[in-house]
Amino acid sequence: MRGTPEWTAAGARWVVAALPGLSRVCLAERPILTEPSQPLGSAAHLLGSELELLLLDLHGGFDPDGFGAATGAIRGGGLLVLLTPPPDEWARRPDPGSARIAVWPFEPETLSRRFIARLIAVLESDPDVVRIDQDERSVVTAPMPAPDPRGGRDWPSPFDDQIRPATADQAEAVAAILETARGWARRPLVLTAHRGRGKSAALGLAAGSLLLEGGRHLVVTAPRREAVATLYRHAEAVLRAVGLRLDLRRDASLGRGSLRFHSPANLVAHPPQADLVLVDEAAGIPTPLLAALLNHYTHIVFASTVHGYEGTGRGFEIRFRAILDRLIPGWRAIHLATPIRWAADDPLESLVFRALLLDAAPAASAAVLGATNEPHAQWLDRDALLQDETTLRELFGLLVLAHYQTRPLDLWMLLDGPNVRLLALRRAGHLIGALLVAAEGGMCDPKLRTAIFYGRRRPRGHLLPQTLSAHGGLLDAPLYRYWRVIRIVVHPAMRRRGLGRRLLTELQQTARAEQIDLLGASFGASVELLEFWSACGFTPAQIGTSRNAASGEHAVVVLKAVSEAGQALLEEAQRRLADGLPVWLAGPLRELDPEIAAMLIQSISGPPPASPEPNAWDAELDAFVAGHRTLEASLPLLSHLVRRHLTAALASGRIERQEAALLVAALLQYHPLTGLARGLGVQGRGRLLERIRAVFKRLVER
């Protein structure tokens, strides 16, 4: 429905009145129906649910991730109603949803509108979309989908009978899961499927059956707890069929068996005993964590959506298949092809795939391997890219291989991100490599830089300069100009040929011509990635002291100087890393992979850094005392100052012996604050940290 907000809202109410009794949700930022609307940002909560009518108001802005999640909840025979401005107006006006890619200092209204223009074109050209226009008072109809040849109901639903597999595919998957759990051999199972094929339901049906057998401890993991809602619902349905009404998310035990959820990082760090591990939406979990689970557990099932918003399954297949082939060549794979929630060749599924490029793929391997001409680097023009769907699909298909959590929003950022540039390698007309880079820094306002350092401002974007300032203690880091590599990827058929290094060489040449100070990247620290970036001349400059909740890895920043000013900043960052690393490795980084730690130490060249002068780090100390810097980030300075000032502070009476003991325990012995708080009777880590800041202020009174 295309028209004014008022007219389309009235149209939505007409649809609801004409189709009473349908299970429905209205996603909007304004009241439309008699019941309250749900905000657009809540679309992820529809994962695993099933609707007959979804009303989506796009006057308040488009959310690619939410669109992908919400439309997957519509069952076959259901209806999606989009409320949009007229096409010409929609293409001209700033979309409120673009605020999420409007990095500082850009405002949403200044951004290009390529993504929305493409979305409008997809909706306009789709023969299955019914278009109702306010101005023309006309309806462009679409043919009704052909009935499903399977007979009976056109769209069988797993919710009609939750304890039986709905398709032969799903029945095979359930049987394979049970065989994996009951077998003696170490033979991992990998399930893949498009959305709506019953993959998660199969996991749940098998889990429920195993719980009824008794004595088995099952562990479930996924990128987010919400992603296993379907699994739990089907497991509970199996138990309910024999009279057992349990909420497995609260009561995880049944007799001598159990079903418990663990986050991926926690499961790797503290692996419990398990007779079977079920990994749902495995594409959204970093490959190193999946490999760790594979090494630890004998009976394990990995399930992944091939194209979806929980992670990109194609990248998962390529990366993880190589690990499986190397470690356990006898692994088993099953692909669920038959839809359950809707019919085959579903028009809505096809529309969503086109709109969000969920089925984008790199060029065929044969096409790039068969070419004889040399690859050439090319900066891509995004206006031209919008008109070249083949190249756009190849590009996005490559980029989704580069990261385990590529989302539909990344397509919008690629097309309209105001600080984004695209560098590609072409061969025989096809893309064989790509690099996505973001321009950051260049903040000339000293007040803004100070606010960033003290944690009072976090301008959208600008990851490298803000990390180096707020966590690395480099007050003027935001002044410098950076190009941050967001993604770098080479076609799987063309790897190990130096093409990634060639992309970075071309990037450096262009950066030097455009007076950029530093190139950089931020990623979860792994031996493989550190080796690659080191081989390309990049140096570690900062490491996070806490693990990423999703990846279980410590984020590391690597830099390569382009200008003389950039070289000076890089050397200062290295000096601080060299000074802090021994302290962090004994404290918050004590569980860091020793090989990674050795690589970081090896990367720090030059003589050991001198101890800081008494007044050298006043700004960082002030930021800590005022509560604007974490204890972990300031730990090297704090431990040095405790050693320097403790005796004098005790002698002068500025601090008491019990307070000195607290500083020693926290800053020299690296006791976890949570345990210290319990031992001292302080309510929580935050309260204890306030006490440490107050004592420290008196310790170094100036």
Which contiguous run of DSSP H or E holds residue 524? Answer: strand 518-524
**Residue partners of 702: CB distance under 8 A and separation at least 6:** 615
- Cα→Cα distances 365→306, 370, 427, 428, 490, Å: 19, 8, 12, 12, 12
Q: Structure tokens of 438?
A: 């973001």
Altogether, the residues listed in the chain come to a count of 702
341 in a labelled binding site: yes
Measured between alpha carbons, how far is 344 from 325 in angstroms, rounded to an integer? 32
- Cα→Cα distances 502→359, 375, 421, Å: 28, 10, 17
- Cα→Cα distances 180→212, 238, 259, 417, Å: 16, 19, 16, 45
**Residue partners of 453: CB distance under 8 A and separation at least 6:** 469, 470, 475, 619, 623, 628
Strand partners, 334: 191
Measured between alpha carbons, how far is 383 from 380 in angstroms, rounded to an integer? 9
DSSP letter string over 278-298? EE-SGGGS-HHHHHHHHHH-S
> For 232-252, what is the HEC assignment?
HHHHHHHHHCCCCCCCCCCCC
DSSP letter string over 36-53? PPBPGGGGGGGTT--EEE
Measured between alpha carbons, how far is 111 from 113 in angstroms, rounded to an integer? 6
Cis (ω within 30 of 0) for the bond into 105?
yes
Q: Name the residue with tokens 């976090």.
A: 458
**Residue partners of 481: CB distance under 8 A and separation at least 6:** 439, 440, 441, 442, 515, 516, 517, 518
Q: One-letter amino acid identity for 569?
A: L
Measured between alpha carbons, how far is 246 from 240 in angstroms, rounded to an integer? 8
Measured between alpha carbons, how far is 665 from 639 in angstroms, rounded to an integer? 11
> For 676-693, what is the HEC assignment?
HHHHHCCCHHHHHHHHHH
Binding-site residue ranges for ATP: 170, 341
Q: Which residues are annotated as a binding site?
A: 170, 341, 528
Q: Which residues are annotated as a binding site for acetyl-CoA?
A: 528
